[in-house]
Amino acid sequence: MKTTRFVPFWSEGDDSFKSDPPNADVSILEGNELKQTVVELQDPTLDGDNLSYTVKVIKGEMPEAGTEVAVFIDIIGRPLTPLSYAGVARRTYRRAVLY
């Protein structure tokens, strides 16, 4: 799904990201040191090709500046995702039925 189609879904439904924001690991290279910060992602804003979030720091400290930024969104526990608890339960159930 393209980002332009994803952002409007942020606030749709009873189990939306707006009502239960996802956590993410933000990894930032600051000089020669890797800084990792756990954040809660809130309020996505799409401006052209740039997607930005307001973040609430949960663990660690956000560096003032850095390069080579990577964001890893935690999908565990989100319904209908392949790695969610619900997704694992569905696969286990299907395998049991197939055998």
Question: How confident is residue 76, by pLDDT bands cut at 50, 70 and 90?
Answer: low
Is the Cβ–Cβ distance between 41 and 6 less than 8 Å? no
Report pTM.
0.65
Question: How confident is residue 90, by pLDDT bands cut at 50, 70 and 90?
Answer: very low
What integer pLDDT is reported at residue 86 of this predicted model?
44
- Chain Cα centroid distance, residue 42: 10
Give the closest residue to 39 by CA, choosing from 70, 80, 78.
Answer: 70
Q: 67 forms bridges with which residues in the sheet?
A: 29
What integer pLDDT is reported at residue 77 of this predicted model?
53
Could you report the per-residue pLDDT of 9-66, keeping only the tens digit for each?
778 877 778 888 888 899 998 888 888 999 999 988 889 888 888 999 999 988 888 8
CA angle 63, 25, 90 (to 5 degrees): 170
Dist CA 24 CA 75 (whole Å): 9
